[in-house]
């Protein structure tokens, strides 16, 4: 979202000038201050080419001490087929996200890439979110609560607090990532953080500015 | 040193169905007991060259590739690019030690290089 769009949206919502300025400030600072350290944001084109969740899981597996450069092992630990692994490997290598540097060493060239859904084609967003939903549902059903945390809450909110909330989410995500990446990794997890409206009220209030996003 | 065509490869969206068809037709044996789970095809004869079957992505299309053994994959990638080829997959080290690269020749056909 551009700074100009944020301003237009804020005015359409009749938000106080100070609140709009906080939104703008938040957006202006995001690339430097809020993105996780050492993280890169993959472009929409790249993400559109790797719609399934397990591509990133494969990259993350390469960081584990017990990683085996073996499609059969990857398929087993991710509970997907060997063919799915091999198709994913092709994509990752073609996109320069994975390098089979030696027979026993595969390198995650993506680094700690952060996935931003902005600028993705709608069908890619649908596919990614559907994949995440399936993973989440599967974890909720089959993974003991000792190994996961899954909560959801629906609440009435004061929208003027959203900029601050987004900031808190960003910092929380960073702290969580830092904590979980301390020491030697021995498993791969997915962190899903979502805060979004469940009503159409903002669309009704903002009219044209909403469609311009 | 010559550069022999050492293998053919079918890249198909349904490798299981493909190997089933050819195994049924020619009694070819398929063995995927290797680190990539690669379907190595044994035609059961010393004549000709061996082959393999590899999965194509859903957005791709079915095709057949030839693999040429070279003494230096990296050098031949450079040479091929100089001659107008496009690198699809740059030199990668396979789990069993060979290097592999996939290129597209100036006519649009893809082929593989294997070697060191």
Point out the domain boundary residue: A113, A141, A169: A141
pLDDT greater than 90 at residue A93: yes
Q: Are residues A28 and A41 in the same domain?
A: no
What is the pLDDT of chain A when averaged over all its residues?
81
Q: Are residues A25 and A51 in the same domain?
A: no
Q: How confident is the model at residue B45 (pLDDT cuts 50, 70, 90)?
A: very high
Any domain includes A137: yes
Q: Are residues A52 and A4 in the same domain?
A: no
Q: Which of residues 76-95 of A touch B (CB under 8 A)?
A: 82-83, 85-87, 90-91, 93-94
User: Which structural domain, as residue segments, surrounds residue A119?
Assistant: 37-141
Q: Are residues A132 and A47 in the same domain?
A: yes
Q: Are residues A16 and A50 in the same domain?
A: no
State how far the Cα of B53 lies from the Cα of B30, in Å rounded to an integer: 9
Query: Which of the two residues, A27 and A128, has the higher pLDDT score?
Result: A128
CATH number at residue A137: 1.10.10
Specify the pLDDT at position A206.
77
Of A26, A42, A17, the C-alpha closest to A169 is A26
A202's tokens: 């903002």
pLDDT in tens, B82-104: 999 999 999 999 998 999 999 99
Any domain includes A20: yes
Point out the domain boundary residue: A108, A141, A174: A141
The H or E element spanning position B67 is strand B63-70
CATH number at residue B59: 3.10.180.10
Point out the domain boundary residue: A141, A172, A193: A141
The nearest CA of chain A is from the CA of B101 a distance in Å of: 11
Any domain includes A54: yes
The distance from CA A35 to its chain's CA centroid, rounded to whole angstroms, is: 11
Contact at 8 Å (CB) between A145 and A169?
no
Q: Are residues A137 and A211 in the same domain?
A: no
What's the burial of B53, exposed, middle or buried (CB within 10 Å: 0-12/13-18/19+)?
buried
pLDDT-above-70 percentage for chain A:
70
This prediction has a pTM of 0.78
Q: Are residues A199 and A211 in the same domain?
A: yes
Select from B57, B90, B96 the Cβ nearest to the Cβ of A91. B57
State how far the Cα of A130 lies from the Cα of A138, in Å rounded to an integer: 12
Q: Are residues A8 and A46 in the same domain?
A: no
pLDDT greater than 80 at residue B109: yes
Any domain includes A149: no
List B21's β-bridge partners, or say none. Answer: none
Does the interface ipTM go beyond 0.85?
A: yes
The nearest CA of chain A is from the CA of B56 a distance in Å of: 7
Q: How many domains is chain A partitioned into structurally?
A: 2
State how far the Cα of B80 lies from the Cα of B110, in Å rounded to an integer: 12
- The answer to whether A93 contacts B55, with C-beta atoms less than 8 Å apart, is no
The distance from CA A132 to its chain's CA centroid, rounded to whole angstroms, is: 10
Residue B84's SS3 state is coil
Any domain includes A193: yes
Q: How many domains is chain B partitioned into structurally?
A: 1
pLDDT in tens, A37-79: 344 555 556 666 777 889 999 999 999 999 999 999 999 999 9
Chain B residues inside the 8 Å CB shell of A93: 89-90, 92
CA atoms within 13 A on the CB side of A175: 6
The nearest CA of chain B is from the CA of A81 a distance in Å of: 10
Of B17, B24, B19, B4, the C-alpha closest to B66 is B4
Of B36, B7, B78, B83, the C-alpha closest to A87 is B36
State how far the Cα of B85 lies from the Cα of B105, in Å rounded to an integer: 4
Which of B13, B93, B99 to mutate to test binding with chain A, by most A CBs within 10 Å of its CB? B93
Q: In three state form, how does the secondary structure of chain A look? A: CCHHHHHHHHHHCCCCHHHHHHHHHHHHHHHHHHCCCCCCECCHHHHHHCCCCHHHHHHHHCCCCCCCCCHHHHHHHHCCCHHHHHHHHHHHHHCCCEEEEECCEEEECCCCCECCCCCCCHHHHHHHHHHHHHHHHHHHHHCCHHHCCCCCCCCCCCHHHHHHHHHHHHHHHHHHHHHHCCCCCCCCCCCCCCCCCCCCHHHHHHCHHHHCC
Outline where B7-116 has alpha helix (H): 15-26, 73-82
Is the Cβ of B92 closer than 8 Å to some Cβ of chain A?
yes
Contacts of A80 (CB under 8 A, 6+ apart): A54
Q: Are residues A196 and A106 in the same domain?
A: no
User: Which structural domain, as residue segments, surrounds residue B62?
Assistant: 5-115
Q: Are residues A164 and A75 in the same domain?
A: no
């Amino acid at each position: 979202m551009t700074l100009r769009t944020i301003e237009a949206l804020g005015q359409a919502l009749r938000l106080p000038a100070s609140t709009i300025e906080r939104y703008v400030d938040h957006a202006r600072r995001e690339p430097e201050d809020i993105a996780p350290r050492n993280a890169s944001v993959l472009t929409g084109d790249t993400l559109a080419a790797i719609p399934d969740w397990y591509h990133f899981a494969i990259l993350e597996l390469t960081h584990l001490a017990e990683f085996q450069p073996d499609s059969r092992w990857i398929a087993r630990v991710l509970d997907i087929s060997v063919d799915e692994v091999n198709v994913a490997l092709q994509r990752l290598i073609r996109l320069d996200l994975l390098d089979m540097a030696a027979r026993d060493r595969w390198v995650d060239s993506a680094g700690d890439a952060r996935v931003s859904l902005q600028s993705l084609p709608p069908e890619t967003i649908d596919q990614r979110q559907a994949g995440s939903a399936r993973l989440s549902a599967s974890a909720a059903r089959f993974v003991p609560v000792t190994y996961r945390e899954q909560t959801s809450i629906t609440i009435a909110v004061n929208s003027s607090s959203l900029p601050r909330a987004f900031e808190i989410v960003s910092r929380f995500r960073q702290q969580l990532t830092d904590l979980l990446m301390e020491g030697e990794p021995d498993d791969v997890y997915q962190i899903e953080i979502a805060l979004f409206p469940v009503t159409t009220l903002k669309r009704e209030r903002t009219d044209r500015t909403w469609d311009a996003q | 040193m010559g550069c022999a065509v050492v293998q053919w490869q079918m890249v198909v969206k349904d490798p299981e169905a493909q190997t089933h068809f050819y195994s049924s037709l020619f009694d070819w044996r398929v063995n995927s007991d290797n680190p990539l789970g690669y379907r190595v095809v044994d035609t059961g004869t010393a004549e000709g060259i061996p082959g393999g079957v590899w999965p194509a992505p859903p957005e791709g299309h079915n095709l057949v590739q030839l693999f040429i053994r070279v003494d230096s994959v990296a050098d031949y990638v450079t040479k091929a690019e100089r001659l107008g080829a496009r690198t699809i997959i740059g030199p990668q080290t396979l789990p069993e030690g060979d290097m592999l690269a996939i290129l597209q020749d100036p006519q649009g056909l893809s082929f593989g290089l294997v070697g060191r």
